[in-house]
Amino acid sequence: MWNTIGKSLVLVHVLLSLLALTWAAAILLQFVDWGWKQPRVEVKESVPSELNKRIAAVNEATRAMEMALPPLKKSQDAWHAAMDLYAQNHLYYRDRLQELQKAAGALKATEPKFESGRAVAGQPIADIDKSLVKYQEELGGLQKEIDKLVAEHRAWTEKAKVITLQLNGMDDKGNKIKVGLYDLLENEAQTQSRIRFEKDYLQPQWADALKSAQDFLERYDRLKEAVDRLEALKKDTK
């Protein structure tokens, strides 16, 4: 049994060795096609050699370089010109920024533009005639006025609350805690309405009573005259 196993392992080892040898020989014999006088032909198609591939790649790279060099040269020239004017443009920008930030008087803001790579003043910018410091000062003044107006508005609001409380009174879930002027006016209007109703009701009766009183007064006067005459006759008879 062990003899059979050993022979089997030896056979497997031989087969693997032959396979490895075949693979190594194929790698060794598969050389790079650097070029032939006549190109190789596979299935009626010419197969380019490694040399032909590299020549084509070099030609393609040369054409790409020739296309890229003119714009690159132009960009390099512009870059060198910008480098020469960088310090001058930087100082121009710095001075303009300082003027826009801290100018004490009137200011004429303009858009920068380039002439031959040099920064110069361009079109004026509308609605900008002061520096940032001046605008901040104006903003501070406006803010103070706003604060003053807000304080006055708050004071008037408090006064309006007091007047509203005096006019409307104070309610607590439908219960009148404090009577307002409107309530007093309403009560007064209702009272006057009741008085007018009572006046309209009593005025005819008062007129009748007045007439009766007038009649009674007239009768009283006549009776008094009669009594006076009787008193006079009584004195005469004595």
Tens of pLDDT, residue by residue over 142-154, are: 999 999 999 999 9
Question: What pLDDT shows up at residue 39?
Answer: 57
Reported as a single tens digit per residue, the pLDDT across 46-56 is 666 667 777 88
Say whether 122 sits in a helix, a strand or coil: strand
Torsions phi, psi of 126, nearest 5? Answer: -70, 155
> Does pLDDT of 89 surpass 70?
yes
Strand partners, 230: none
Question: What pLDDT shows up at residue 211?
Answer: 84
Evaluate whether 122 touches 110 at the Cβ level (below 8 Å).
yes
C-alpha–C-alpha distance, residues 234 and 211, integer Å: 34
Note the pTM of the prediction, 2 decimals: 0.40
> Does pLDDT of 138 surpass 80?
yes
pLDDT band at 84 (very low <50, low <70, confident <90, very high): confident
Question: What pLDDT shows up at residue 37?
Answer: 54
> Does pLDDT of 217 surpass 70?
yes
C-alpha–C-alpha distance, residues 92 and 121, integer Å: 10
Reported as a single tens digit per residue, the pLDDT across 11-34 is 888 899 999 988 888 767 665 555
C-alpha–C-alpha distance, residues 206 and 178, integer Å: 40
**166: DSSP letter:** H
Mode of pairing for the β-strands spanning 45-47 and 40-42: antiparallel
Instruction: Compute the mean pLDDT over every residue in the chain, rounded to the nearest whole number.
Output: 80
Domain range summary for the chain, segments of one domain joined by +: 47-128, 131-168, 179-236
Which of 58-62, 107-111, 218-222 shows the highest mean pLDDT? Answer: 58-62
169 φ/ψ sector (left φ>0, alpha ψ -120 to 50, else beta): left
Residue for token pair 């900008």? 128
Q: Which residues of 166-204 are buried (b: 16+ CB within 10 A; e: fewer)?
A: eeebeeeeeeeeeebeeeeeeeeeeeeeeeeeeeeeeee
Closest CA to 132 of 152, 109, 161: 109
The percentage of residues in the chain with a pLDDT greater than 90, rounded to a whole number, is 7
